[in-house]
Amino acid sequence: MVDVGHKTAQLRIAVAEGFIRCLAKTVTALRAKSLPKGDVFTVAKIAAIQAAKRTDELIPLSHSLPLDAVEVTFSLKKDAVHIVTEVHTTAKTGVEMEALTAVSVAALTIYDMCKAVDKTMVIEGIRLVSKEKL
């Protein structure tokens, strides 16, 4: 791990995003909350938050961080779900990996919950949108 002992704790924020491309009928089912496994977005939001909190267990050499907030939003597009996560901490290092992990796990959860009705889904475009320290 990188030694961050000399740094001062600051508010740090990271935003990440990703997409799941899918059939229009899948978007319709998501909007209607009519998928067989239940409320996809509530489950995916909880999964994203859990993933952000456990990033240090998943990514070797990442620091354990106390998270102040994890926000997860989903936007339905014509043929996709857009996922955005924003993670806040007051710490000596940033939360980029937590935001990216949260997006990734949210996307995997949506994929799992929709795979019975859509075999064409593709997870793509997972990236860090911004990071800042205040």
- Strands (E) located in 22-113: 67-76, 80-91
Residue tagged 């050499």 (tokens): 61
Q: Which domain holds residue 51?
A: 10-133
pTM of the model: 0.94
Query: Residues with catalytic annotation?
Result: 112
Tens of pLDDT, residue by residue over 12-70, are 999 999 999 999 999 999 999 999 898 999 999 999 999 999 999 999 999 999 999 99
**Number of domains present in the structure of the chain:** 1
Side-chain half-sphere CA neighbours of 118 within 13 A: 23
Q: Return the CATH number at 68.
A: 3.30.70.640
Question: Do the domain assignments include residue 72?
Answer: yes
In-domain check, residue 3? no
Q: Where is 55: in which H helix or E strand?
A: helix 55-58
